[in-house]
Amino acid sequence: MSRTIRQYIRMVFFNKEEAAAIAKIEEKLKAESKARAIAQEKLRVEIATRTTAERKVEAKAEKKLLTQHRRYSALAGRVETQAKEEIAKIKAQAKEALQKLDSYTAELNHKEEKLKKAQEQLRVETLARAKAQDSLKAERDQHRKAEAQAKEDIAKVKALAKENIRTYTAALSRAQEKLAKAKESRYIDEDVAGATEEDLSENSKEQQNLDSQSAETKNALTRICWFLFHPKSKKTKFALFSVLATLSVLAIAFGVSVVKNPPVAKPGSATTQEDEPVSITLMASEPDREHFTYNIVKGPSYGNLSGKAPKMTYTPASNYNGPDSFTFSINDGKADRNQATISVTVLAANDAPMAYHRSEKIKVNKSIAATLTGSDVDGDPLTFIINKKPEHGILTFDSNFKTSGKLIYRPEPHFQGLDSFTFKLNDGVMDSAPATVSINVRPNLLPVAESHSVTTPEDTPVQIGLIGSDPDADPFSYIIISEPSDGSLNGTAPNLTYTPNMNFNGSDSFSFKINDGIEDSTPATVSIMVSSINDPPVAKGDSIVTTEDTPAVKVDVLANDTDIDNEGRYLYLDTFTVTAVTQGKNGSVTINSDGTLSYSPKANFYGSDEFTYTVRDNKDDTDTAKVNVTVNMANDAPVIISTAVATANAGALYTYQVNATDPDSADTLTYSLTTKPADMTINSATGLIQWKPGQVGENNVIVKVADSNSVPTTDTQSFTITVNPPPPKIAKLTPRDGYYHRNRKTLSADGKTGLVRSSDDKRLEIRYGSYTSYDFSNVIVPADALIKSVVVFIEHFEEEYFTAGKLEWAAGTGWPTKPVVWASIKAPVHEEEHHEGVDSWDITSLVDTRDKFNSLQLQVKNNDIVGRNNTLIDYIYLVVEWD
């Protein structure tokens, strides 16, 4: 910081006495900075001397981690195997459940299909019944209407007849007299319309119906009238008409000509049972009873017609039930007049089930399992019934035979020939025709076992395939009668493996027979020749135990090795020699002149290791065995790795966290102070040193750490703590403060009872990519004070060129080893600022607790990696206000 700025700050913030005190403090800070540099150099040398010890610690820790990793890997393998087995069980159970589900689903689908068929049949029958009922109701209504109309017509005719009789009787005589004169004879065709009462005019051609009705006219006998007459009966050939004139009565006789009416085909319906024919008579109206013929226009879809119309027979298709129909027409010799449809309803009927014949062949004295079979077109559940039992055998029935049809036939002992039995099926309504099961019981021919021989070298297994046959081509099984005397058999006949006894050579044999399920064959023998070979020595594994950094010497690995000669006798030979060894991963192996071995573990190694050796006998045969090595761990001393805090402020709390490591991770470390100032304490479990010094000066401290071994090992650290006087206080911050006007718009000291400032005026240069941190833990605020404001002032940028965001401020604690950042900001950059500048940062909200305030640090970081500019920090100033 330039002299002008220093004078300005002292003039603004302090009086003369305080300014003088500040000058002394600055000189002392310079001395402390120099002492700190010397201490750092000592620390660097100390760290360098500790490198070997740290490497030793790292090696031991790495070996322990490797051992634990192997143990956990083995455990993980076992867990994985158990998990796979559980998964396999679950899959098997799931597969079985799915199979059961498929079976239940198939059964349910079958029942649903049967139910749908029954529902459809019921629906068809219901529709047919409804249609028949509607047709019958219509016919009844038509008959009632016709009957009522007929009664009404009869009443009218009777009334009209009575009236006309009186009129006709009076006029008859006059009509007869004039009949000859009138000569008015007219003929009209049947069913042709004539004139009405109003149309009886001269030469009228109007036609109306006259059904024995009266008509009036003003025309006398001089007029000619035309009439159309509809007789009530088709049999009418003549009718009597009366014409009442104004002045006279004229009786006219009309001749009626008959016109042919065409026939009309009538629809009909019929009902029959499934597979049952039904007779159907085609119907038609016959107005004139003329001759006509029936023609089938469209035949039925689910049956056929036979017979000669109108007498027809409808035969439904086999097993069909439901609706059907056919269409016919009427022909009067000229043309087909009209068509009508005959509806047929085929009602469902039960069909008899069908039992299936079958034939079987078995050997004498053998039984056979059979499943009787049959079918039912209606899909009804069937019951099996034995109709006739066999004459030469016995039937044993399954517990569910009535529904499964499963049984076992066993012929009489030694019976040979033909036998049979019959069975039938019942669907709950009717039985099937009987079916026959024919059984041919044949004599049995003995199977044949064949003898043969094999050869194998000593100590070598050989595959042996047993040989046999059966003239009847029956399946047969192999039976070992006698085992070999100098070896063993494994496997499943006929594929066996013969293993000679260890070191055996010579002849051996075993015998066997075969059985076709009825009788045994003659025994056969398999001869085995075991040829002799030279036996190598047998090297057996060894185990040795030693201690970390201690060699194992004179290891006699030959003591338990053996050799067997060609006669099978065990001999302990003194001519064994070790010809080669492999090296352990964590130790070296050498062969001593007396045939023993020496193993030397690597420095600081402990754990498991292994190596192999090769032994040779006097016939140059060799064998190799493994030696397992256990290196027991030796106790290692703990090492203090933390750097001591060498300064403190009088009246402020001093803390130093002592950190130590021990290669023996299972050990528990205990901390203590062997040399210390008064009132200094240390937590024996955590190593935290706390002290509140009251006097300015230097204090010597020695801290010791010890492990929990039965014979503890220790490490110590010696350092000196320099206690500095507490920072000065001022009464309040006045408006003369230039920083107040420039940067602290909200900062005010009015009404405050006191404030304290702490500063670091060492000029530091921060290279790009680096940072520096400032510790303000020496600021002392009364324990009962309420902190109101904390502001940091920073003087920086001297002949610098920075872009925005390249300089970063951070407030927190724990630098440089365990930094904890509470908040960070991008420092402001003023354009064209070539000289010193001062900026401020209000961090009141970040130090909301006393613990945070007591551990406050500030970091200034240079992020200008691209421009590669350095920055100078001239002055860091902290202003704290409290009540």
* Degrees to nearest 5, angle at CA 40 with 38 and 43: 115
Instruction: Report the alpha-carbon angle 339-341-344, nearest 5.
Output: 160
The string of DSSP codes covering 250-316 is: EEEEEEEE--PPPPEEE-EEEEEETT--EEEE-EEE-SS----EEEEEE--SSEEEEEETTEEEEEE
SS (H, E, C) 699-755: EEEEEEEECCCCCCCEEEEEEEEEEECCCCEECCCCCCCHHHHHHCCCCCCCCCCEE
- Predicted confidence band of residue 751 (pLDDT cuts 50, 70, 90): very low
For residue 816, pLDDT over 70 is answered with yes
Please report the DSSP string for 87-113 in residue order.
Answer: HHHHHHHHHHHHHHHHHHHHHHHHHHH
Distance CA 749, CA 818 (A): 35
Across 358-367, average pLDDT:
88
Domain 354-442: give its CATH superfamily.
Immunoglobulins (2.60.40.10)
Query: pLDDT tier at 862 (50, 70, 90 boundaries)?
Result: confident
Nearest to 326 by CA among 339, 308, 311: 339
Using one digit for the tens of pLDDT, what is the confidence trace for 368-378? Answer: 999 999 998 88
State the amino acid at position 626 in one-letter form.
K
**Taking all residues of the chain, what is their mean pLDDT, rounded to a whole number?**
77
Q: Examine the pLDDT at 636 and tell me if it is beyond 90.
A: no
| Alpha carbon separation from 650 to 590, 682, 781, 786 (Å, rounded) | 66, 19, 13, 22
- Express as a percent the part of the chain with pLDDT over 90: 32
Pick from 701, 702, 697, 671: nearest CA to 686: 671
pLDDT of 229 = 47
Q: Give the integer Cα–Cα distance in Å for 231 and 239.
A: 8
CATH architecture of 727-882: Sandwich (2.60)
Closest-CA residue to 825 (of 863, 854, 853, 788): 863
Higher pLDDT, 850 or 524: 524
749 confidence band (pLDDT: 50, 70, 90) = very low
pLDDT for res 16:
63
Tokens of 236: 């009418």
Place of tokens 């001749």: 255
Least confident range of 329-338, 621-630, 816-825: 329-338
What ranges in 183-240 are assigned the alpha helix state H? Answer: none
Cβ atoms 319, 377 nearer than 8 A: yes
Q: What CATH fold (topology level) applies to the domain 264-347?
A: Immunoglobulin-like (2.60.40)
| Region class of 491: left (phi > 0), else alpha (psi between -120 and 50), else beta | left
User: In the prediction, which pLDDT does 741 show?
Assistant: 33
Mean pLDDT of the region 780-800: 71
Spatial neighbors of 618 by CB under 8 A, at least 6 apart, are 573, 575
Task: Give the pLDDT of residue 472.
Answer: 81
Strands 807-813, 238-244: pairing is: unpaired
Residues 6+ apart with CB under 8 A from 37: none
The torsion region of residue 191 among left (phi > 0), alpha (psi -120 to 50) and beta comes to left
Is the CATH number 2.60.40 carried by domain 542-632? yes
Query: 700 or 651: which carries more pLDDT confidence?
Result: 700
State the Cα–Cα distance between residues 507 and 38, nearest whole angstrom: 93
Query: Backbone phi, then psi, for 789, in 5-degree steps?
Result: -155, 140
How many C-beta neighbours within 10 Å does residue 645 have?
A: 15
The confidence score (pLDDT) of residue 238 equals 41
Q: Which of 367, 374, 384 is nearest to 426 (CA)?
A: 384
- Residue 624 pLDDT: 93
Residue 380: band (very low, low, confident or very high) from pLDDT cuts 50, 70, 90: confident
Query: What is the rounded average pLDDT of the residues 606-632?
Result: 90
Burial 539-571 (b: 16+ CB within 10 A, else e): beebeeebebeeebeebebbeebebbeeeeeee
Spatial CA neighbour of 871 closest among 818, 808, 790: 808
pLDDT of 837 reads 59
pLDDT value of residue 383: 94
For residues 637 and 715, is the Cβ–Cβ distance under 8 A? yes
Tell me which of 183-192, 438-447, 625-634 is least confident.
Answer: 183-192
Instruction: pLDDT band for 570, please (50, 70, 90 cuts).
Output: very low
- The token duo for 448 is 């044949």
Residue 580 and residue 584: Cα distance in Å, rounded?
A: 13
CA–CA gap between residue 700 and residue 678 (Å, rounded): 11
Q: Which of 207-211, 577-581, 813-817 has the lowest mean pLDDT?
A: 207-211
- What's residue 48's pLDDT? 63
For 597, the token pair is: 């071995």
Q: 463 is written with which tokens?
A: 């595959």
Lowest mean pLDDT among 15-29, 522-536, 588-602, 681-695: 15-29
In tens, the pLDDT along 130-145 reads 777 777 778 778 878 8
Mean pLDDT of 450-456: 94
Residue 339 has pLDDT above 50, yes or no: yes
Distance CA 615, CA 579 (A): 6
Closest CA to 322 of 280, 278, 271: 271
Q: Hey, what are 432's tokens?
A: 């099937």
pLDDT of residue 129: 76
The predicted structure's pLDDT at residue 666:
82
Across 156-233, the runs of DSSP E, i.e. the strands, are 186-189
**Of 243, 285, 238, nearest in space to 261 by CA:** 285
Predicted local confidence at residue 51, as pLDDT: 59
Inform me whether the pLDDT recorded for 719 exceeds 90.
yes
Average pLDDT over residues 809-838: 74
**What pLDDT score does 571 carry?**
41
What pLDDT does residue 65 have?
67
Euclidean distance between CA atoms 560 and 105, whole angstroms? 69
User: Which segments within 332-459 are labelled E, that is strand?
Assistant: 336-347, 354-355, 358-363, 368-371, 374-375, 383-388, 393-397, 406-411, 417-426, 435-442, 448-450, 452-457
pLDDT at position 700 over 50:
yes
Alpha-carbon distance of 204 to 217, in angstroms, equals: 12
Question: Tokens 């530091």 label which residue?
Answer: 764
Average pLDDT over residues 394-409: 93
Is 745 exposed, middle or buried (CB count within 10 Å of its CB: 0-12, 13-18, 19+)? exposed
Banded pLDDT at 798 (limits 50, 70, 90): very low
- Give per-residue pLDDT as tens, 726-740: 654 332 333 333 333
Give the pLDDT confidence of 86-144 residue by residue, as tens digits.
Answer: 787 887 877 777 777 777 777 777 777 777 787 788 788 778 777 777 777 787 788 78
Q: How far apart are CA 363 and CA 354, in angstroms?
A: 30
Q: Which residue is listed with tokens 């026939």?
A: 263
State residue 172's pLDDT score: 65
- Residue 542 is predicted with a pLDDT of 92
Superfamily of domain 641-724: Immunoglobulins (2.60.40.10)
Helices (H), 360-503: 401-404
With a cut of 50, say whether residue 245 has pLDDT above it: no
Burial 223-245 (b: 16+ CB within 10 A, else e): eebebbbbbeeeeeeebebbbee
Model confidence, pTM: 0.29
Query: What integer pLDDT is reported at residue 331 of this predicted model?
Result: 84
Q: Band the pLDDT of 742: cuts 50, 70, 90.
A: very low
Give per-residue burial for 461-480: e unless 16+ CB within 10 Å, then b: ebebebbbebeeeeebebbe
569 half-sphere exposure, CB direction, 13 A CA radius: 4
For the chain, what are the domain ranges? 51-168, 184-257, 264-347, 354-442, 448-531, 542-632, 641-724, 727-882
Rounded to 5 degrees, φ, ψ at 193 are -70, 145
**DSSP summary character for residue 695:** S
For 409-451, the pLDDT digits (tens) are 999 998 989 999 999 999 888 899 999 999 999 888 889 999 9
Beta strand extents in 89-221 (DSSP E only): 186-189
How large is the average pLDDT for residues 22-39? 74
Q: Which residue has the higher pLDDT, 161 or 826?
A: 826
Same CATH fold, 641-724 and 354-442?
yes
List the structure tokens of 760.
Answer: 């670091």
CB 746, CB 841: distance < 8 Å: no
Which residue do the tokens 């009540």 mark?
883
Q: Could you tell me which CATH number the domain at 448-531 has?
A: 2.60.40.10
Give pLDDT, residue 18.
62
Total Cβ atoms within 10 A of residue 4? 9
Tell me the angle at which helices 16-49 and 51-182 cross, rounded to the nearest 10 degrees.
90
Residues in Cβ contact with 402 at an 8 Å cutoff, skipping those fewer than 6 apart? 383, 384, 385
